[in-house]
Amino acid sequence: MNKNYISSIDGEIYLRERRYDHPKEIFKQAAEILALASPAACQPSLSLVDLGSATGEFAYYIRGLNPEIKLQCIEHNPELVEDCRALLAQRGIDICCGDINDLQGVADSTFDFATSFGVTQIFEDFKPSLGEMIRVTRDGGRCVNLMMLNEFPIDVLIRYRVPGTGVVQANWNKFAMSSVAEFLEQHPEVASYRFLKHEMPFDLPPREDDPMRSWTVMTPEGKRILWNGLNMEISLYHVIIEVSKGKNS
Ligand SMILES: C[S@@+](CC[C@H](N)C(=O)[O-])C[C@H]1O[C@@H](n2cnc3c(N)ncnc32)[C@H](O)[C@@H]1O
């Protein structure tokens, strides 16, 4: 069974902080990977879904780059959905409640692009959410799923207790890159895929008030890597998938 850990911590952060005008670096990278600002992508006939969107910050950022593309957000936490619905609607972005592991009511091949950032690593198994992303993407479409990956062939399932409350959280699983690769290689609707490691272009200082917020550490080779209060590298990768519905037909 794929346990669905909902992070109340994430919810609080997204409700408290308004970061629409400060897009995350991962959002900028995904927009570039998908060429979402290009004239070819600025078409009302094209569509993108962001899965586990929280308050829709990624879609909001994309609307600033691309006034035409249809933008849909799907988020599990109804409080987040209600909080941002009106603001997103003003920018022509729709948001609804849904579970990325089981996108009931979303037909196969609905979207040209599917994105998800920091969601798949919450679950005990990456396959249902990754499989749903691929299912709802059309032939010739592309998915970008940002998740933590282990470069060694071991799926690491992590739990930690939130200091103070003792609540068990599970947002930081590190699936083996080899497990994800095997799944994608065997998937009948995947034409090709690649992994692109996320690198921060600037230093992030640690936050004393919240050790679970990532900060950057310089390696002896001069590379900036992300670290957090779990005392491990936050090895984030964009999993980039080219979808082909006709591969086996
Ligand atoms: C780490 S946050 C990332 C939010 C957003 N993607 C971003 O990068 O700013 C994870 C989000 O996934 C949502 N989430 C958790 N379980 C989910 C599920 N089963 N289906 C859809 N969203 C889910 C959480 O409520 C939270 O908003």
Q: Dump pLDDT digits (tens) for 215-236.
A: 999 999 999 999 999 999 999 9
Q: Could you tell me which residue, 166 or 110, shows the higher pLDDT? A: 110
Domains in the chain: how many in total? 1
Place of tokens 């592991």: 101
Residues lining ligand 1, Cβ inside 6 A: 4, 6-7, 10-11, 52-54, 57, 75-77, 80, 99-101, 117-119, 122
Question: Would you say 51 and 10 are in contact if contact means Cβ atoms under 8 Å apart?
Answer: no
Radius of gyration of the chain (CA): 18
User: Whose alpha carbon is nearest atom 13 of ligand 1?
Assistant: 52
- Residue 211 within any structural domain of the chain: no
- Residue 74 within any structural domain of the chain: yes
Least confident among 5-14, 103-112, 119-128, 212-221 = 5-14
**pLDDT in the model for residue 75:** 97
17 pLDDT tier (thresholds 50, 70, 90) = low
Strand partners, 227: 215, 233
Q: Taking residues 109-121, what's their average pLDDT?
A: 98
Question: Would you say 69 and 36 are in contact if contact means Cβ atoms under 8 Å apart?
Answer: yes
What are 21-77's pLDDT values in tens digits? 899 999 999 999 999 999 999 999 999 999 999 999 999 999 999 999 999 999 999
CATH (domain of 74)? 3.40.50.150
Q: Output the CA 221–ligand 1 centroid distance in Å.
A: 33
Place of tokens 């794929």: 2
Q: Output the CA 11–ligand 1 centroid distance in Å.
A: 8
DSSP symbols for 205-243: ---TT-TTS-EEEE-TTS-EEEEETTTEE--EEEEEEEE
- Residue 49 within any structural domain of the chain: yes
Q: Output the CA 56–ligand 1 centroid distance in Å.
A: 10
Q: Output the CA 205–ligand 1 centroid distance in Å.
A: 24
Q: Rounded distance, CA 27 to CA 57, Å?
A: 9
User: Whose alpha carbon is nearest atom 26 of ligand 1?
Assistant: 54
**pLDDT in the model for residue 19:** 80
Q: Rounded distance, CA 137 to CA 128, Å?
A: 14
Place of tokens 């920091």: 118
Asked if pLDDT for residue 3 goes beyond 70, the answer is no
Task: Please measure the distance between the N-terminal and C-terminal CA atoms of the chain and give it in whole angstroms.
Answer: 31
Range of the domain at 165: 8-199+234-243
Residue 77 CA: nearest ligand 1 atom is: 25
Strand partners, 233: 227
Question: Would you say 214 and 121 are in contact if contact means Cβ atoms under 8 Å apart?
Answer: no
User: Whose alpha carbon is nearest atom 18 of ligand 1?
Assistant: 99
Pairing state between β 160-161 and 93-97: unpaired
- Residue 88 within any structural domain of the chain: yes
- Residue 174 within any structural domain of the chain: yes
What are 131-156's pLDDT values in tens digits? 999 999 999 999 999 999 999 999 99
What are 162-206's pLDDT values in tens digits? 888 898 888 899 999 999 999 999 999 999 999 999 999 999 999
Q: Output the CA 164–ligand 1 centroid distance in Å.
A: 23
